[in-house]
Structure 1
Amino acid sequence: MANIVIINPRFEASYWGLEHALRLLGKKCNVPTACLPLLAALTPAEHHVTLVDENVEDIDFEKVARADIVGLTGMIVQRQRMREILNELKARGVFVVVGGPWVSVQEDYFDGLADAIFVGEAETTWPQFLDDWARGRHQFRYEQADRTDMTTVPVPRYDLLKTKNYVFGSIQFSRGCPFQCEFCDIIVTFGRKPRLKTSAQVIAELEAMRNAGLSIGFIVDDNLIGNKAAVKVLLADVHAWQEREGYPLQFFTEASLNLAEDDELMELMVAANITVVFIGIESPNEDSLKEAKKYQNVKRGNTIVDRVRKVQDSGLEVWCGMIVGFDNDDARIFKEQAEFINQTDIMHAMVGMLAAIPKTPLHARLKNEGRLDLNDDENTFGTNVIPLNLSREELRDGYIGLMRELYDPDSYFDRLESLYLTRKFDFGRARNAYLRDHPWRRRKQQLLDGGRALGLFLLLMKNVPDAHLRKVYRRRMMTILRSRPDPGVLFVSVVKCATHYHHYTMSREMSERRTLVNTF
């Protein structure tokens, strides 16, 4: 038997990390990394597994050093902290293995620090490694010969997570995306053929999440609707489970913009209690979309604005990813991006500068063109891409200015009021319909939402240091209270205030520094 510790390193403050809002919500981290409980589930029962997420607890290196095997995972933005952890562990003589998205695309990054690495998926290679290790003949590099058969994936060990510390849980329905976006590493890691779990698997995971005390789940699929026909069956079964169990779970997910072309699919997502969908829109500039091979976003009769609004009108709130710095972008792109966000009433827009991930077609192209900054430690522009029609300073400063504009309080709350008051957006439409048919449960939920809204609002008033922001939050909440005094809407709106505080704080900090954390 081996004593195994699996570590997820801490993240630096980021757009989705919600670090500035977490203390207002009484949490330490937004969402657990999905691979931690999954790796624990893949570990044969004779071994003992401990999960350590540095985002919710400090690493006790003395204790970790007593483990037989320490596994370290991490994404691109965690790579420098991964190196620090590896240096500390190797100084203590610990046997360490590394996997995850970053080592999968940059295999030599931790040379000399890891005893074994895992490239790509690990459903078969992790158990294989443990068997090899027990026999004293482990390899240095493990990579699966075939993509994982998702119908064989076990229920993650949610019971090993400190779930009370997280805002959301994480669950995966599928892997793979059929599209070919030049900048994306998803098809490198997971391929272009979507692979799905069975309905029975997903329902078992939903039950496990609920038993672990989680009520909101982030479906981490990079594109939930990669295989529309198959996911419709799965969503119909999730809907039936929600109806049977009284809608205990709410979901956020990710999907491509062609969702707008399928009314049935949107209806099924809403019925399954998916309330928010993150869409990679990237740019209102069609030349940039074509350049990036993001053909699914190119105009198909209706404009992108029309398509986004159609998704919203179906009952799904849209969050989006946007990118600046494509070869077809010039100084006008920052204004165009802001105009697009305002036209669509999207409150949460994750804007980033184009960056080239190793092993992607974009990385290969720009390397051949001599347009990559390969200095990993000293790049202060926040991207390794040297833009074509903008200077690096123009790209950085335009990006920072765009973030400041999008999260200016008036701009942000104008979008909120347009969506929730003018357009009467119904957040959680299917669950709301269910509650209307169950008056006692509806009354109980209204009391709960009203209490949570008041409690969180008081925390905002106590803990947000900026008096002007507190005044804005009070004024905007009074507008919502007068126009739409629904406890559910009030609670969602107070949560929007908390997330605004995070985005606002981040944009102001970037503006003051005029330098960006190097994510590549």
Structure 2
Amino acid sequence: MKTLLLWPKMPNSFWSYQETLDLTDLKSTNPPLGLITVAAMLPKNWEVRLFDRNVRPETSADWEWCDLVIISAMIVQKADFRSLIEKGVNLGKKVAVGGPFPTSIPEFAQVAGAHYLILDEGECTLPLFLDALSRGESTGIFRSAEKPDVTQTPIPRFDLLDLDAYLAMTVQFSRGCPFQCEFCDIINLYGRKPRTKTPAQMLTELEVLYRMGWHRYVFLVDDNFIGNKRNARVFLQALIPWMEARNYPFILITEASLNLAEDDELIDLMVKAGMTIVFMGIETPDTDSLLGINKVQNTRQSLVESCHKITSKGLQIMAGFIMGFDNERAGAGERIRSFVEAANIPQAQFSLLQALQNTALWQRLEREGRLTEGLGTFHQGAIMNFIPTRPVEEITAEYIDAFWQLYEPIAYMKRTFRCFMMMNGWRGKNHRPITRHEIGMFGQICWRQGLLRNTRFQFWRQLIVIALLKPQLLYDYFTTLGVGEHFLTYRHEVRAQLGNQLADLKATKAQELLVESPIRSLV
């Protein structure tokens, strides 16, 4: 079977880092881990071609060559996802789809014309699809309530990737999260009982990347790395000597819940293992809102103190924040902005709340009749897809203002400086070669921030202090400034997109009032 694996285009968003990629002459932040894992589970005698369309598009010859097209997608990729399904069908190819988006909203792929829907987790449903294919079945939907044993998951096909195109490689240690945040779909997709790979399994995957010559960022994409703390400890204890023996070839990033601050030993193990950045869903500093969305784990301790503790031990926090929760008080945008400044968090992933299909939030809003038509686009430039408890215009205006101020160049630079000056954590010595991508980025940062902008005096003053007092953090500091270039640009796009949507919303409401006025006069 000649199989074409496709990963659709990503729109510009918080996670795309497009401006930073342009500075480094890279094409994409992360590869499609799910798709290269599926590739490893296909029959060995199948011929496979993989195209990440964010790196390089497939050609007409590739479409002509293949018998079967397999497409994976997240909801943010829905536009290109649909066009690829339709193209495959129009060309007479069999089209199979899978991944988080079709699993959550299978009807979207069905309407687009996909022949096979390989839903839920592929370890369970891909064999069902292959059996159906061997029997000559022309269509099918393959689902399984069973959660697979990830210790049996094969090593992803990293060899199918153009390693030189990515900012970071991705691996996965665990699936599932023990918490029940109302707006989150992770527990719907992967369950509440975290399942983990073995330490030996993880070290084998990392060894493959190491032997392939990868020596930059590795993102452990677990939705909550510490969902199973015991197993996370065991893995870290095995990872530390592996990293030490190879002079720390990777810079590790992961995601974890804020209750990490309650476990000093676990933080220290993460730092000693080479982790430098941890993404955390803080969501809001408003306790009432946190309780309302069932995020009680963020209410047990002071949020600012928890952030300071984690940062001081050597982990840079990248945090998620959301506006638009029910019964949110006016001024939420400014409270979030003030919190980010107080907590010294350089990168704040800041969004308006979107109701994801089949989450507890979606089901509640559906019962209350508050969902608006359409799925939305689910990125920072998207207006809310439900009716909030305060005017959507007010929420959106606050959000635009807070997002703009958070990524004002001097504010971002000062916040980054305070973050790194607070860090007292250990850093392993490494002998990673500096690549042309990094040299290009460092040069552009010095040019833009140190010469072109009014940040020049602040830039050189901070750089000298970091170089003198925190030399072990200089690489990470420079990289964080480089990442900031994306947000400084992206905030313009967010303001324009939301401004246009607000204008359309006001025009629609005005039109509705004009229609209603004659009716009221008649009454």
With normalisation by structure 1, the TM-score equals 0.90
Aligned position for 1:413: 413
Aligned amino acid, residue 358 of structure 2: K
Q: Structure 1 residue 46: deviation in Å?
A: 1.3
1:108 aligns with 2:107: yes
1:496 aligns with 2:493: no
Residue by residue, what CA displacement relative to the aligned partner does 1:227-268 show, whole Å, maximum 9, x if unpaired? Answer: 111111011111121122221122100000111111111111
Q: Structure 1 residue 11: deviation in Å?
A: 0.2
CA contact 1:381–1:396 (8 Å) conserved in 2: no
Aligned position for 2:467: 484
Aligned position for 1:401: 401
CA contact 1:44–1:127 (8 Å) conserved in 2: no
In structure 2, the CA distance between the partners of 1:103 and 1:473, relative to structure 1 (3 Å rule), is farther
Residue by residue, what CA displacement relative to the aligned partner does 1:170-205 show, whole Å, maximum 9, x if unpaired? Answer: 000010000000011000000000000011110110
Q: Structure 1 residue 409: deviation in Å?
A: 1.2
1:55 aligns with 2:57: no
1:243 aligns with 2:244: yes
Q: Secondary structure at the residue paired with 2:73?
A: coil
Aligned position for 1:459: 444
* Cα distance in 2 between the residues matched to 1:261 and 1:378: 36
Moved more, 471-480 or 114-123: 471-480
Aligned amino acid, residue 419 of structure 2: L
* Cα distance in 2 between the residues matched to 1:474 and 1:497: 15
CA contact 2:376–2:385 (8 Å) conserved in 1: no
In structure 2, the CA distance between the partners of 1:137 and 1:371, relative to structure 1 (3 Å rule), is same
In structure 2, the CA distance between the partners of 1:156 and 1:504, relative to structure 1 (3 Å rule), is same
Q: Structure 1 residue 134: deviation in Å?
A: 2.4
1:16 aligns with 2:15: yes
Aligned position for 2:264: 263
1:170 aligns with 2:170: yes
* Cα distance in 2 between the residues matched to 1:397 and 1:213: 47
1:292 aligns with 2:304: no
Aligned position for 1:214: 214
Q: Secondary structure at the residue paired with 1:265?
A: helix
Q: Secondary structure at the residue paired with 2:290?
A: helix
Q: Structure 1 residue 483: deviation in Å?
A: 4.9
Aligned position for 1:351: 350
CA contact 1:4–1:47 (8 Å) conserved in 2: yes
* Cα distance in 2 between the residues matched to 1:116 and 1:237: 40
Which residue of 490, 493, 501 maps to 1:506? 490
Q: Structure 1 residue 273: deviation in Å?
A: 0.7
Residue by residue, what CA displacement relative to the aligned partner does 1:329-363 show, whole Å, maximum 9, x if unpaired? Answer: 13210111011100100000101111111111100
1:7 aligns with 2:6: yes
* Cα distance in 2 between the residues matched to 1:507 and 1:311: 28
Aligned amino acid, residue 45 of structure 1: K
Moved more, 193-202 or 492-501: 492-501
In structure 2, the CA distance between the partners of 1:176 and 1:509, relative to structure 1 (3 Å rule), is same
Q: Secondary structure at the residue paired with 1:123?
A: helix
* Cα distance in 2 between the residues matched to 1:361 and 1:22: 36
* Cα distance in 2 between the residues matched to 1:152 and 1:454: 40
Aligned position for 1:146: 146
Aligned position for 1:77: 76
Aligned position for 1:313: 312
Aligned position for 2:510: none
CA contact 2:25–2:437 (8 Å) conserved in 1: no
Q: Secondary structure at the residue paired with 1:484?
A: helix
Q: Structure 1 residue 503: deviation in Å?
A: 0.4
Aligned position for 2:520: none
Identity between Structure 1 and Structure 2 (%): 34
* Cα distance in 2 between the residues matched to 1:238 and 1:467: 38
* Cα distance in 2 between the residues matched to 1:42 and 1:516: 45
CA contact 1:481–1:490 (8 Å) conserved in 2: no
* Cα distance in 1 between the residues matched to 2:171 and 2:412: 29
Aligned amino acid, residue 476 of structure 2: V
Residue by residue, what CA displacement relative to the aligned partner does 1:260-304 show, whole Å, maximum 9, x if unpaired? Answer: 111111111111111111011101001100110001101x2x311
Aligned amino acid, residue 484 of structure 2: H
Q: Structure 1 residue 101: deviation in Å?
A: 0.8
In structure 2, the CA distance between the partners of 1:290 and 1:65, relative to structure 1 (3 Å rule), is farther
Moved more, 25-34 or 206-215: 206-215
Q: Structure 1 residue 60: deviation in Å?
A: 1.6
CA contact 1:473–1:497 (8 Å) conserved in 2: no
Moved more, 151-160 or 238-247: 238-247
Q: Structure 1 residue 208: deviation in Å?
A: 1.1
Q: Structure 1 residue 504: deviation in Å?
A: 1.1
CA contact 1:194–1:226 (8 Å) conserved in 2: yes
Aligned amino acid, residue 153 of structure 1: T
CA contact 2:24–2:440 (8 Å) conserved in 1: no
Aligned amino acid, residue 494 of structure 1: F
Aligned amino acid, residue 491 of structure 1: Y
RMSD: 2.4
Aligned amino acid, residue 169 of structure 1: M
Q: Structure 1 residue 377: deviation in Å?
A: 7.1
* Cα distance in 2 between the residues matched to 1:134 and 1:451: 47
CA contact 2:382–2:498 (8 Å) conserved in 1: no
Q: State how many pairs are aligned.
A: 497
CA contact 1:282–1:323 (8 Å) conserved in 2: yes
In structure 2, the CA distance between the partners of 1:386 and 1:425, relative to structure 1 (3 Å rule), is farther
CA contact 2:115–2:138 (8 Å) conserved in 1: no
> Which runs of no fewer than 5 residues in structure 1 stay unpaired?
436-440
Aligned position for 1:155: 155
* Cα distance in 2 between the residues matched to 1:224 and 1:377: 29
Moved more, 366-375 or 196-205: 366-375
In structure 2, the CA distance between the partners of 1:377 and 1:419, relative to structure 1 (3 Å rule), is closer
Q: Secondary structure at the residue paired with 2:109?
A: coil
1:431 aligns with 2:428: yes
* Cα distance in 1 between the residues matched to 2:34 and 2:173: 13
Aligned position for 1:227: 228
Aligned position for 2:517: none
Aligned amino acid, residue 387 of structure 2: I
Aligned amino acid, residue 279 of structure 1: M
Aligned amino acid, residue 484 of structure 1: A
* Cα distance in 2 between the residues matched to 1:325 and 1:229: 35
CA contact 1:28–1:165 (8 Å) conserved in 2: yes
In structure 2, the CA distance between the partners of 1:243 and 1:373, relative to structure 1 (3 Å rule), is same
Q: Secondary structure at the residue paired with 2:123?
A: coil
Aligned position for 2:359: 360
* Cα distance in 2 between the residues matched to 1:6 and 1:455: 32
Aligned position for 1:438: none
CA contact 1:122–1:143 (8 Å) conserved in 2: no
* Cα distance in 1 between the residues matched to 2:451 and 2:98: 45
Aligned amino acid, residue 476 of structure 1: F
Residue by residue, what CA displacement relative to the aligned partner does 1:47-88 show, whole Å, maximum 9, x if unpaired? Answer: 111111000001324422431110011001111211111112
In structure 2, the CA distance between the partners of 1:450 and 1:234, relative to structure 1 (3 Å rule), is closer
With normalisation by structure 2, the TM-score equals 0.90
